[in-house]
Amino acid sequence: MSGYLVRRLALSATAMLGVITIVFVLLHVSGDPASLLVTQDATRQDMERIRQAYGLDRPLSVQYARFIARVARGDLGYSYRQGLPVTELIADHLGATFELALASLAVAILLGVALGMAAATRRGSGVDTAAMTVALLGTSMPSFWLGLLLIIVFGVKLGWLPISGYGGWDHLVMPAFVLGGFYAAQVSRLTRTSLLEVLAQDYIRTGRAKGLRDRVVLFKHALRNAALPVLTVLGLSFGQMLGGALIVESIFAWPGMGRLAVQAVLGRDFPVVQGATIVGAAVFLAVNLTVDLVYGWVDPRLRSAAQRA
Amino acid sequence: MRRGRWRTIVALYAAAAVVLALGSGVATQAQPPRVLVVAQSADMATGDPAKNTGLATIAVLANIYDTLVHRDASLNLKPGLALSWRAVDPTTWEFKLRKGVRFHDGEPFNAETVKFSFDRMLDPKTRWPGAGALQLIKAVTVVDDGTVRFTTSQPWPSMPRFLGYYGMIVPPGYLKQNGDDALARHPVGTGPYRFVRWVKDDRVELEANPDYWGGRPKISRVVIRVIPTDAARVAELLAGSVQLANLVPPELFGALKTSSKTKLVVGKSLSVFFVIYNLVNIAKDKPLADPRVRQALNYAIDRQAILASVMHNVGTPVATFCTAVMTGCDTSIPPFRYDPGRARALLREAGYADGFDFSISGTSGTYPGDRDITLAVADQLNRIGVRARVHVTEVGVQLRAVLDRKLPEDGWFTRFTDFFGISTIIPLPAFYSPGEWSQWRPGYAPFNQLVEAAQAAPDEAKLREVSRRLQLMYKEQAPAITLFTAPNANGMSRDLEWTPRPDLELTMFDASWNRR
């Protein structure tokens, strides 16, 4: 098991180095931070001074080597635009992203699993059709559209919820619903398919033949087995949510990682983009690793297979 | 046990439903707004004015810090931290300072703090992106506690106008004790509002400075929120949770005008939209090398029609590179009138009766209405036989190409702004051949000489005279299709009184509630 972990970690580090390198190259060939940092009144000397100050006048290979060396020491550098350490900026935004991701995950699980179960247990009925229609709408409605619609109805017309911003839990409701709703749609379809497959298995029939109640069959035997693929998707989704949800964050003015990263990309604030990418990749890989470990807990067969290996 | 689990799940769903339903009640209580909530699309980058010159940063910091010179909403110069100023000789300005002023942390303001602030700003190690604008300042000397002198490397009659926008005064003691990063996180100035709290990318909270030298602000608490999506910013206004939103794009004007709670307030503008011709090393046989062709394209544009259809009639056609509110801008020079007949005649004269291909590099979402304006311009050019096409590019990529003089297109849609409010400033980076953004290279020597003459003008009278000649020559040479002013449109709650500033600073000192 520990050998497996070490291999996974080494693989993750390689993946991260790849991500960092690609981001570094793409950023440096796509635009000039100095031109976006100054106002239109700036002179060529101003820009040269900025390029020198940030080492942007050095060959790309030198910039890259310095950058990797710094990252290895845990130093993500200073933002060009804000003049503050990148680690501090990320720490400021990670909390909000985490809150939104957790709330959205809750929405995705509660809504997605409920819809999927309702559809699977009443296959072919009106409930099934309704649930899957909702799921279809959930995946196909663009989040900026759904977000603005909710804002108009619940924020402007009814005045029930704050329209945007970061604050109490009421600020979380709409963004979590829009972001989580999208993933709930996927989860519900997957739950339905997976559950239908399990419900057709022999041991379910045996359970029913034994006289177990439907609920027991569903929750104790079927759902647990059907949960494996759902867990994978939830893990991936959570990783994506933690990377920052730009559109939802922008519409609802949520101060998360997505906005930090995109503002940095638009302003060619290289250190922040790189920092956000590294943290995003690390979080994503960590979530994946966790999901793999949770797998073993949910499915003892995997655990014993790992031990045998 | 099993039943228990089922109940737990039902209870969880029920609890979630109750929480969702209850949320409604809590958030709805509409109270008369005591706290003024202002929304802009981006956050301030830093609390340290010597680190950033971004619009969103200055808009907020102008509440916390003061400059030596103040400008009113029409950009007239007024005493700020300096009570008066005079030119001792052509290269020396003397400022008499206000006495008894203190920073928000109690530190006294005096001549030393002025010298410290300017030395810090102009020190290359500070990396202030605005240093170029003040590069003529050679030295700042303390005469006595209440007097400072600025020595400049050449006569600089407009220096007080520059100090009406740049040059926020920072507290030396606070910086020495706590370091640069502390000011970036927690700004301390002498301004009408004191910093309370900053939640990055969400809000900056301010409270009135009761000891402000200009009197206590009428509104005691101000929150400046960051709402990046235009539609959400306007939705907050309509819902009454925000009372002022700046830089509203034209497509949302309608909602603000029709609501009973809001109004659209348009301020004077310091920004001009252009399609700047790519004249980098242009061959003599190319259409754009001929000034008649460059003028023809200007005659082909119906500016009022574009303003009406795209900008909801917010904006004024502009004759040259300056707007009416800028010092020395001659408003008697008329903008190019819409005259497609004249445009065709000029093209015929220049030997392009059948038109030519003309590509425009544009952006989408960078400037208000940018994409639609560019498409409308292209459409109008097509009507006189010029085969115009628009290529929409990401702004960072576009600016890089412009800087490198490698723009593949024949024209560049952009907006130039001069926050100092002086008519001769925009030509310097935009049209003067050595200028940073200039695409007019090698350009036209008499024009370049006039730009230089404007920079060296010994007094404001001379500056005005040179500026007028420069404007006339610009119109005749037409290095760009000059369009109209960019909107300074603000959505406001009907019970708020405030005059939008041309420099887009969101200073709330002169804002007040209008109780009906």
As beta bridge partners, residue B263 has B492
Q: Is A136 left (phi over 0), alpha (psi -120 to 50) or beta?
A: alpha
> Chain B residue closest to A29 (CA)?
B397
Asked if B94 and B148 count as a contact pair (C-beta separation under 8 A), the reply is yes
Question: E strand or H helix at B372, and its extent?
Answer: helix B370-383
Tell me the pLDDT tens digit for each residue of B372-393: 999 999 999 999 999 999 999 8
Return residues 221-260 of A near B (CB < 8 Å).
250-253, 255-256, 259-260
Q: What is the ipTM of this complex?
A: 0.74
Q: Which amino acid is at B381?
A: L
C-alpha dihedral (B223, B229, B230, B233), degrees to nearest 10: -30
CB contact under 8 A, B396 and A36: yes
Lookup: tokens for B269: 């503008």
Q: Is A134 on the interface with B (CB under 8 A)?
A: no
Q: Is B485 helix (H, G, I), strand (E, B) or coil?
A: strand
At B19, is the pLDDT very low, low, confident or very high (cuts 50, 70, 90)?
Answer: very low
The whole-number pLDDT of residue A31 equals 62
Give residue B10's identity as a one-letter amino acid code: V
Q: Scanning every residue of chain B, which has its alpha carbon at the shortest distance from the alpha carbon of A81? A: B45
Interface test with A, best of B19, B200, B252 (most A CBs within 10 A): B200
pLDDT at A34 (0 to 100): 67
Percent of the residues in chain B that have a pLDDT greater than 70, as a whole number: 93
pLDDT score of A293: 75
* Choice among A221-225, A235-239, B466-470 with the minimum mean pLDDT: A221-225
Residue A63 has pLDDT above 90, yes or no: no
Which CA distances in Å does A309 have to A296, A306, B85?
Answer: 14, 5, 84
Q: Which residues of A touch B1 (CB under 8 A)?
A: none
Distance between CA atoms of B63 and B44, rounded to whole angstroms? Answer: 12
CA angle B171, B175, B177 (to 5 degrees): 120
Name every chain A residue with its beta carbon within 8 A of the beta carbon of B185. 84
Note the pLDDT of residue B92.
95
Model pLDDT for residues B26-62, shown as the tens digit of each residue: 444 445 448 999 999 989 999 999 988 888 999 999 9
Which residues of chain B does A31 touch, with a Cβ-Cβ cutoff of 8 Å? 394, 396-397, 399-400
Q: How many CB pairs under 8 A join A and B?
A: 190
Mean pLDDT confidence for A230-249? 84
**Tokens 């036989």, located at residue:** B385
To test the contact with chain A by mutation, choose from B38, B125, B236, B398 the residue with the greatest count of A C-beta atoms within 10 A, namely B236
> Tell me: the pLDDT tens digits for A260-299?
888 887 777 888 888 888 888 888 888 887 887 777 777 7
Q: Which of residues 176-205 of A touch B (CB under 8 A)?
A: none
Q: What is the pLDDT of residue B225?
A: 95
Q: Is A38 on the interface with B (CB under 8 A)?
A: yes
Q: Which residue has the higher pLDDT, A297 or A87?
A: A87
pLDDT at position B300 over 90: yes
Mean pLDDT of the region B401-430: 92
CB contact under 8 A, A45 and B132: yes
Task: Give yes or no for a contact between B168 and B189, defined as CB atoms under 8 angstroms apart.
Answer: yes
Q: Is A92 on the interface with B (CB under 8 A)?
A: yes
* pLDDT tens profile B133-172: 898 999 999 999 999 999 999 889 999 999 999 999 999 9
Longest dimension (CA), chain B: 95
| Chain A residues in contact with B52 (beta carbon < 8 A) | 81-83
Answer for the pair B383, B343: CB distance below 8 angstroms, yes or no.
Answer: no
> Two tokens at B120?
């810090």
A42: which chain B residues are within 8 Å (Cβ-Cβ)?
129-130, 132-133, 429, 436
Which amino acid appears at position B453 of this protein? A
**Quick one: pLDDT band at residue B294, thresholds 50, 70, 90?**
very high
Mean pLDDT throughout B191-215? 95
Question: Which strand (E) or helix (H) includes residue B208?
Answer: strand B203-208
Name the CA dihedral angle for A143, A149, A154, A158, rounded to a multiple of 10 degrees. Answer: 180
Calculate the CA dihedral of residues A95, A96, A99, A104 and round it to 10 degrees: -140
Q: Cβ contacts (< 8 Å) between B270 and chain A: which residues?
A: none
Nearest-CA distance from A288 to chain B in Å? 27
Q: Taking residues B489-499, what's their average pLDDT?
A: 95
Helix residue spans in chain A (DSSP H): 2-30, 33-37, 44-53, 60-72, 86-121, 126-140, 143-150, 170-199, 202-209, 214-216, 224-242, 246-251, 257-266, 270-298, 300-308
- Report the DSSP pairing between strands B279-280 and B440-441: parallel
List C-alpha distances in Å: B360 to A156, A264, B336, B375, B398.
Answer: 40, 27, 20, 9, 11
What is the rounded average pLDDT for all residues in chain A?
A: 82
Per CB-CB distance under 8 Å, the chain A contacts of B365 are none
CA distance A207 to chain B (A): 15
- CB–CB of B226/B201 below 8 Å? yes
The DSSP call for residue B335 is P
What is the reported pLDDT for A305?
62
A chain contacts of residue B416, beta-carbon cutoff 8 Å: 40
Q: Are B483 and B272 in contact (CB under 8 A)?
A: yes
**How many residues does this entry show for chain A?**
309
Chain B residues touching A250 at Cβ < 8 A: 228-229
pLDDT tens-digit profile of A119-158? 888 888 888 888 888 888 888 888 888 999 999 999 888 9
pLDDT at B17: 46
pLDDT of B132 strictly over 70: yes
Query: Residue written as tokens 């020198």?
Result: A52
Confidence of residue B196 (pLDDT cuts 50, 70, 90): very high
- Kindly report the nearest CA distance between residue B165 and chain A, in angstroms: 13
> Is a pLDDT exceeding 70 seen at residue A109?
yes
pLDDT at B211: 94
- Of B203, B186, B221, the closest CA to residue B65 belongs to B186
Reference B80, options B96, B91, B94, B92; nearest CA is B96
Cβ separation A160–B12 shorter than 8 A: no
Q: Give me the mean pLDDT over the A76-102 stretch.
A: 87
Confidence at A306, pLDDT banded by 50, 70, 90: low
Measure the CA–CA gap between B328 and B319, rounded to whole angstroms: 14
Q: With an 8 Å Cβ cutoff, is A126 touching chain B?
A: no
Q: What is the model's pTM?
A: 0.82
Q: Which domains does chain A have, with CATH numbers?
A: 93-256 (1.10.3720.10)
CA–CA dist B516, B514 (Å, integer) = 6
| CA-to-CA separations, B357 to B347, B382, B386, B387, in angstroms, rounded | 13, 10, 6, 5
